[in-house]
Amino acid sequence: MSSYEFPFNERIRTLLRLEDLFSKVLLNVDAGHQHNHHSALISLLQMLDIIDRADLKMDLVQELDRQRLAMQNLRGNPVIAEAVLDKILKQIGACSTTLRSDSLKLGQHLRENEWLMSIKQRVNIPGGVCQFDLPSYHHWLNLESTRRKQDFDGWLTKLMPMYDAIKTILHILRGSGAASKHHADRGFFQQMLGGAKPAQMLIIQMDDDCPCFPEVSANKYAINVRFNGLDFVQKPRQCDHAIDFTMTLCNL
């Protein structure tokens, strides 16, 4: 099944973007080739741009505390598995404790690295990190893979608590909704929204062989889903046939 996630607010967008960038960093670091490590470093610096926009640490701690309280209130519920609940509470507690224990702003150790910041100043320039622009960076890329991995370990260690907290929060969010099957006539679907607690993310799942992809627009009153086809030349166009899909509305 192909899965598409659509966040409904900036806070969830930020968490999803950081999760995506962090997973790319880890994948490319493990791959080991200098081109992979270049991609990993670019993603790492992009993460720093996102972290700088808000007090992310405080937002994460507050959300973890809120989820811990909500989970504790589930104790004694006969439909809740106590072992699973205890595991989630343990994860939440560990993430919260680690984030609180570091008094520095997230990513501060990277900002204080003048060499990394010199690279960051040039990564948005097309071709701006060529060897004649940054010979010191070219030298680093030609070091042994094990040495570069050691550097990444140092850069990532203080960011791992953030990543663990993001994974925990998004895991809870993704599991908070019930999936339901739907049918879109001529590539369009609309669902009215109600209730005092608005959804924070929508997940759409489709068969892998479906030739269309979804685009979502939503407000507090309704969700509109358009399924578009793509020929990789023209602009995407709305499908003119029926689409079956599964939709999950998620809310923390």
pLDDT in tens, 138-197: 999 999 999 999 999 999 999 999 999 999 999 999 998 889 999 999 899 999 887 667
Separation between Cα atoms, residue 151 and residue 169, nearest integer Å: 28
Q: In what order do the strands lie in the sheet with 243-250?
A: 2-7, 201-206, 243-250, 179-184
Domains of the chain in sequence order: 9-172 (1.10.3900.10), 178-250 (2.60.440.10)
CB 203, CB 213: distance < 8 Å: no
Average pLDDT, the chain: 91
* Residues 199/249, Cβ–Cβ less than 8 Å: yes
More confident residue, 47 or 54: 47
Most confident of 10-24, 198-212, 213-227, 230-244: 10-24
pLDDT given for residue 177 in this prediction: 86
Q: What's the pLDDT score for residue 54?
A: 66
Q: How far, in Å, are 138, 160, 168, 222 from residue 26 at the CA level?
A: 21, 11, 17, 37
Flag whether the pTM goes above 0.85.
yes
Give the percent of the chain with pLDDT over 90: 69
| Alpha helical stretches, state H, 102-191 | 108-111, 114-120, 135-141, 145-157, 160-174
pLDDT at 220: 78
Predicted confidence (pLDDT) at residue 199 exceeds the cutoff of 90: no
Distance, in Å, from the CA atom of 131 to the CA atom of 222, rounded to the nearest integer, reads 52
Binned at pLDDT 50, 70 and 90, residue 92 comes out as very high
- Dist. CA 213–CA 205, nearest whole Å: 10
